[in-house]
A and B are shown apart, each in its own frame.
Chain A
Amino acid sequence: MALAAGGALSPAQTGAKRKAMSDITARAAALVAEFEKEKDPEKLQGAADQLVEVDLAQEEEGLKRLALRQETLQLWLRLLAAIDKNLDPRFDPNDRPRVSVTPPPSGGAQYPPGADPSVIKDPQARKQYEAAIKQNRDKAANYRLQTKLRRLDEKLTPQVERFIRLSYTTVPGDQRQLNETVKKLIANPQRAQALVRAGEPKR
C-alpha cells in the first residue's frame, strides 16, 4: 500500500489508475469469494497480494478516494473474517497426519503401510483399514488448511492494522466509519478490538 501523493497525472493516466484500483479490488473480492467455496488458502494469499497494491493516493477525487478506502477496508476485514471462521480451535499442530497408515493384521500376516485394502481378506479388518485411511486423509487436509490459515493470520493481521493506521485519521467521522465497519464484519471480539485500536489516536 502506498499513500504518498504522486506527481501530476494527465486525465488519461488518472482514468487508467482508477480502473487499475477497481480491478485490484474486484480481483481481491473474487478471490475471497473463491476461498469461501473451495477452502483453498492460496486464494486468501492471492487476495492479500492484490490488496497491498491498493494505492489510495492514486485516486485524486476525495469522495472516490474515500469510497476506495472503505472498499479496501471491507475486503481486508472480509479476508480476516474468513480466516477466523475457518480456524479450528481444537487443532493440535503436534498431531500430524501420516504419509500412509498400516493395515491391521489379517490372516496371520501384517501388510506394510499403504497396502491396498483389497489385499486384506478379513472384511471387518478391511473395513477398519479403509476407515483409518479416510480418517488420515481428512486429517491431512485439515492440517494443511489450519496451518496455512494460521500463517496467513500471523502475516496479514499486521498488514491490515497498518492499512487502518495509515488510512484513517482521528477525526470522528473516520473513527465512526472504522468502528461501524469492524463491528459489521468482524465477529471475533479480540480481533475487532485490536483493529479499532489500530485506528485510534496515539497517546
Chain B
Amino acid sequence: MSGCSGDSSDPESGSNPSTDTDSASTSCTQCTITSETTASVPPDRTRTTVGVGEEVTLTVDPAPATWSVSGAGTVSPSSGASVTFRAGERAGSATVTAVGAGCCCDITFTVVEPSGIMMSRTSLVRHMKNKPDCGFLARPYVLPNSVSFHNIEVREKNSAATATGYFSGFNGTRHQPEPQNESDWFTVQECCEGLGSPADCHDEIYSGYPGVPTPSVGLMTFPITWEFRVGGGAEKAMPDFEQRHEVTASGDCTTSKGGASETTHLSDEDSGY
C-alpha cells in the first residue's frame, strides 16, 4: 500500500479527503494526521525530514484508524488513534497511511542518513614543552544537524598511519589496537541545535611524540571512516575523512580532524586533557 491511492495527498499537513471506497461508512469527508518528532531538537517538531531510526508520534483525527507504511520505516502499533513511526535504517521515502471511519489520509517522510562527523574540542590542548607534539579531546557530532540521529550507534574503523619526516617512526601505526578492526559502538544523543547529534564518546586526537628532541618537517595522516547502524542492524560507512598531524621545522605542531584543528608552539607550557 502506498498512500491513499487515487487522490492527491498533502504530505505537509498529512491531510486529504476520503478515498476509502471499501468502507461502508461515508460519513467522514476528511481526516488529518498530525506529526511530532520525539526529539525536541531541531525545534520544528512537525518536520517531515527525519534521520534514520528517528521516531515520530502520529495522531489521526477522527480516530481510531488502521495504519500502514510503505517505504523506509515501520509504524507501531498498527491500529489506534496515536502511533509511532520509526524511520528505517537507510535513506529513502516513507508514506504512512491511516484508514478508518470512512477516511484515508497519509503523510510522507524523507529519511536521511548521516552525512559525516564533525569534531568539537572538549579539552585543553595536549602538549609537552619543548617537544613538537599536539592534540586534544573532541566529541564527535553526527551530521546533518537538520535531523536527530539519537536512535543510531556509531563507531570508528581502524586504519594505519602514513607518516613521513619527523613522524616516520610512526609509519604504519594502528589507530585501533589488535585485534580490533574498529572501536566499540557508541550511542548518540538527540541533536544539539547548530551542531549535530553528539556521540557518547570522546576522541583522543593526539600526534604522539616519536622521541626525537630536534623537530623537523613531518606529516602523519590516518584515513578515517565512521560507520553507523540502527537498532543493532547492519553497519554502513559514512564518507571518509582524514586525521592529520603536521610538524614544521621550527616545531609548530598542528592536529586536525573533522573540522577541529589546534596548533602548538615548541615553547608552549605543558598542558593536557
CA A60 – CA B43 in complex, angstroms? 45
CA A40 – CA B229 in complex, angstroms? 15
| Interface size of A as a range | 35 or more
Given contacts A52-B77, A111-B208, contact A99 B173 (CB under 8 A): no
Q: B201 contacts A116, CB within 8 Å?
A: no
Which residues, 164 to 204 on B, are CB-close (under 8 Å) to A? 169-170, 173-178, 183-187, 200-204
Q: B201 contacts A53, CB within 8 Å?
A: no
Chain A CB within 8 A of B246 CB: no
Chain B CB within 8 A of A118 CB: yes
> In the complex, which residue of chain B has the Cβ closest to the Cβ of A118?
B178
Q: A53 contacts B177, CB within 8 Å?
A: no
CB of A115, distance to nearest CB on chain B (Å): 5
CB of A145, distance to nearest CB on chain B (Å): 10
> In the complex, which residue of chain A has the Cβ closest to the Cβ of B38?
A155
B231-271 vs A, CB cutoff 8 Å, 1 = contact: the mask equals: 11000000000000100000000000000000000000000
Q: A109 contacts B169, CB within 8 Å?
A: yes
> In the complex, which residue of chain B has the Cβ closest to the Cβ of A105?
B209
Chain B CB within 8 A of A114 CB: yes
Which residues, 37 to 64 on A, are CB-close (under 8 Å) to B? 40, 42, 45, 49, 52-53, 55
Q: B161 contacts A100, CB within 8 Å?
A: no
Given contacts A53-B77, A55-B79, A97-B186, contact A116 B200 (CB under 8 A): no
CA A141 – CA B185 in complex, angstroms? 8
Residues on A with C-beta less than 8 A from B77 are 1-2, 52-53
Residues on A with C-beta less than 8 A from B8 are none
CB of A110, distance to nearest CB on chain B (Å): 4
Residues on A with C-beta less than 8 A from B139 are 96
Residues on B with C-beta less than 8 A from A53 are 76-78
Given contacts A99-B202, A100-B204, contact A109 B76 (CB under 8 A): no
Pick from B78, B135, B211: contact of A109, CB under 8 Å: B211
Which residues, 88 to 143 on B, are CB-close (under 8 Å) to A? 128, 133, 135, 139-140
B68-79 vs A, CB cutoff 8 Å, 1 = contact: the mask equals: 000000001111
Chain B CB within 8 A of A13 CB: no
CA A137 – CA B146 in complex, angstroms? 31
CA A119 – CA B139 in complex, angstroms? 27
CB of A92, distance to nearest CB on chain B (Å): 12
Residues on B with C-beta less than 8 A from A1 are 77, 80
Residues on A with C-beta less than 8 A from B140 are 99
Which residues, 190 to 230 on B, are CB-close (under 8 Å) to A? 200-211, 220
CA A49 – CA B174 in complex, angstroms? 41
CA A117 – CA B185 in complex, angstroms? 21
Q: A140 contacts B186, CB within 8 Å?
A: yes
Q: A52 contacts B76, CB within 8 Å?
A: yes
Residues on A with C-beta less than 8 A from B186 are 97, 99, 140, 143-144
Q: B177 contacts A148, CB within 8 Å?
A: no
Pick from B78, B80, B187, B203: contact of A99, CB under 8 Å: B203
Residues of B near any A CB (own CB < 8 A): 64, 76-80, 128, 133, 135, 139-140, 153, 156, 158, 161, 169-170, 173-178, 183-187, 200-211, 220, 231-232, 245
The contact sample of 8 A-B pairs, CB cut-off 8 A, is A97-B184, A98-B202, A100-B156, A100-B176, A110-B133, A112-B206, A112-B207, A113-B204
- Interface pairs A-B: 7 shortest CB-CB: A109-B211, A112-B208, A140-B184, A108-B211, A113-B204, A42-B232, A110-B209
